[in-house]
């Protein structure tokens, strides 16, 4: 199957923090892939911008290396690199100083009616200063968009202040708060599964669903990010944004359309319906852990404190929690979330477990009857599995087995699966905010997370230790098993 490529309008994309890790690993390779597919029109420009003094040639050499390091050789046909690098230029500018901003103005102003995208691939402390400089130098036009990377604050209060600083310059329809999980192909297919098929929606409720699990597991530790990570932790880094957005897509009511605000209105309703986890409920509804030395990726690895270079830290590298949604569709259905570093497998998936059949017509020789499960795999090996009970082939009576109807996107479509940033950057250019968080969503998510953070901060308890290469502390198992359930762990995980 050949994917349909929809070109976008002519645009200028200015990447602040253009010499940083995100630009190198994700943004430049994503833009190269879109250019390779013919989606970027001739004349569009990619302008790197940071404090680092570079010439255009220096930055093109940086971009070339980023693409060679992160794009397979087979995806770099002769001539394409040169064509892409012709689009690339560089301006040196400092958010805290006036130097360089007049030069950026000079570069952009010959095309004042073109779509302008300012991508802030910088720390959140620079969001406000950069926006102020864009305003002071009159670089914001009616066709300008600004892209904000996480972290969107460290609490509800700081997120509000951040939104205020951005909102003084940009109107909400111009602000794109990016969550790369929402750009993943399988997340998009969650919408298709629910709302383009008659099969699931009639049973997508508390009458038929027993519980939902959302797992985002990483085999890596904090690596070189220990300094940043110790100020964040797994709850801020993963749950407040990625995992709550996945929960919203699973739990939301059918929107009236796929327009951005129709989708985001329904997600906001879910966030506002989450049952608060009070300080009294935190010990039973949440688990936080911190990895110790162990084995991962085929070798011995250090513990978190060793990577941090500290004797003690209350920062969690693992979180498990039980969420509940107080509305008619989901009353009584628990949503179990877990995420962590240095776990046995790298996997992100959503598991919807349906209720058991009310009565079995089969005798004991048929074997146990497992409940149906829908498993939506976000990474790796993106795809969907529907676990069903079927009869084992052959004579000798009725013997039942639990087997999956397994659809791998790579096998089904035989095309390259684009990186999430490819889709999201092009959606910014198109002006489509459907996959981006609205301000009230961000602040509602913090409103649910803040009491947990406050309770943890007030508690003298440290995160529960777990050995690297295991599925977190034993209390995470107890969290779900005291409800008579267990964590789903697919034996086919890579």
Active-site residue list = 242
CA 77 to chain CA mean position, Å: 30
- 8 A C-beta contact, residue 358 and residue 334: no
Please, are residues 186 and 244 in contact by the beta-carbon 8 Å criterion?
no
Burial 304-339 (b: 16+ CB within 10 A, else e): bbebbeeeebebbbbbbbbbbbeeebbeebbbbbbb
Q: How many CB atoms lie within 10 A of CB 434?
A: 17
Rg, Å, the chain Cα set: 24
Please classify residue 38 by burial: count the beta carbons closer than 10 Å to its beta carbon, then call 0-12 exposed, 13-18 middle and 19+ buried. Answer: exposed
CB 315 within 8 A of CB 225: no
Spatial contact of 176 and 436, defined as CB atoms under 8 Å apart? yes
List the structure tokens of 83: 């064509």
Report the number of secondary-structure helices (H) and strands (E) in the chain. Answer: 18, 17
- Nearest Cα neighbor of 427 from 414, 413, 437, 416 is 437
């Amino acid at each position: 199957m050949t994917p349909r490529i929809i070109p976008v309008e002519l645009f200028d994309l200015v990447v602040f923090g253009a010499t940083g890790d995100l630009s190198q690993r994700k943004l430049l390779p994503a833009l190269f892939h879109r250019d390779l597919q013919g989606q970027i029109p001739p004349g569009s420009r990619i302008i790197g911008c940071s404090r680092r003094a570079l010439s255009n040639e220096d930055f093109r050499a940086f971009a070339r290396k980023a693409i060679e390091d992160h794009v397979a050789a087979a995806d770099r046909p002769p001539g394409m690199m040169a064509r892409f690098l012709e689009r690339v230029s560089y301006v040196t500018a400092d958010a805290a100083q006036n130097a360089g901003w007049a030069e950026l103005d000079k570069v952009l102003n010959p095309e004042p009616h073109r779509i302008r995208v300012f991508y802030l691939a910088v720390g959140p402390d620079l969001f406000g200063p950069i926006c102020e400089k864009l305003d002071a130098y009159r670089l914001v036009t009616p066709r300008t968009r600004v892209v904000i990377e996480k972290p969107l604050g460290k609490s509800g209060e700081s997120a509000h202040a951040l939104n205020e600083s951005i909102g003084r310059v940009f109107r909400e329809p111009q602000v794109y708060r990016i969550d790369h999980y929402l750009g993943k192909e399988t997340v998009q297919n969650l919408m298709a599964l629910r709302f383009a098929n008659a099969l699931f929606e009639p049973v997508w409720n508390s009458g038929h669903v027993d519980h939902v699990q959302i797992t985002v597991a990483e085999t890596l530790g904090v690596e070189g990010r220990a300094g940043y990570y110790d100020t964040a932790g797994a709850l801020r880094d993963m749950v407040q944004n990625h995992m709550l957005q996945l929960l919203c897509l699973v739990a939301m009511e059918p929107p009236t359309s796929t327009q951005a605000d129709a989708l985001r209105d329904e997600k906001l309703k879910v966030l506002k319906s989450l049952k608060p986890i009070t300080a009294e409920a935190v010990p039973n509804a949440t688990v936080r852990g911190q990895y110790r030395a162990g084995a991962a990726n085929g070798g011995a690895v250090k513990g978190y404190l060793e990577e941090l270079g500290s004797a003690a830290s209350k920062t969690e590298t693992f979180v498990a929690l039980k969420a509940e949604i107080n509305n008619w569709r989901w009353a009584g259905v628990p949503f179990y979330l877990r995420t962590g570093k240095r776990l046995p497998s790298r996997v992100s998936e959503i598991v919807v477990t349906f209720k058991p059949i009310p009565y079995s017509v089969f005798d004991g020789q048929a074997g146990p009857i497992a409940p149906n499960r829908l498993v939506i795999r976000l990474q790796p090996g993106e795809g969907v599995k529907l676990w069903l009970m079927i009869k084992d082939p052959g004579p000798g009576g009725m013997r039942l087995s639990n087997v999956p109807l397994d659809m791998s996107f790579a096998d089904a479509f035989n095309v390259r699966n684009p990186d999430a940033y490819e889709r999201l950057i092009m959606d910014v250019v198109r002006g489509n905010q459907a996959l981006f968080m609205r301000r009230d969503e961000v602040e509602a998510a913090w409103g649910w997370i803040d009491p947990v953070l406050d309770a943890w901060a007030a508690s003298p308890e440290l995160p529960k230790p777990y050995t690297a290469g295991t599925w977190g502390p034993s209390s995470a198992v107890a969290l779900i098993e005291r409800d008579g359930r267990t964590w789903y762990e697919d034996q086919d995980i890579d």
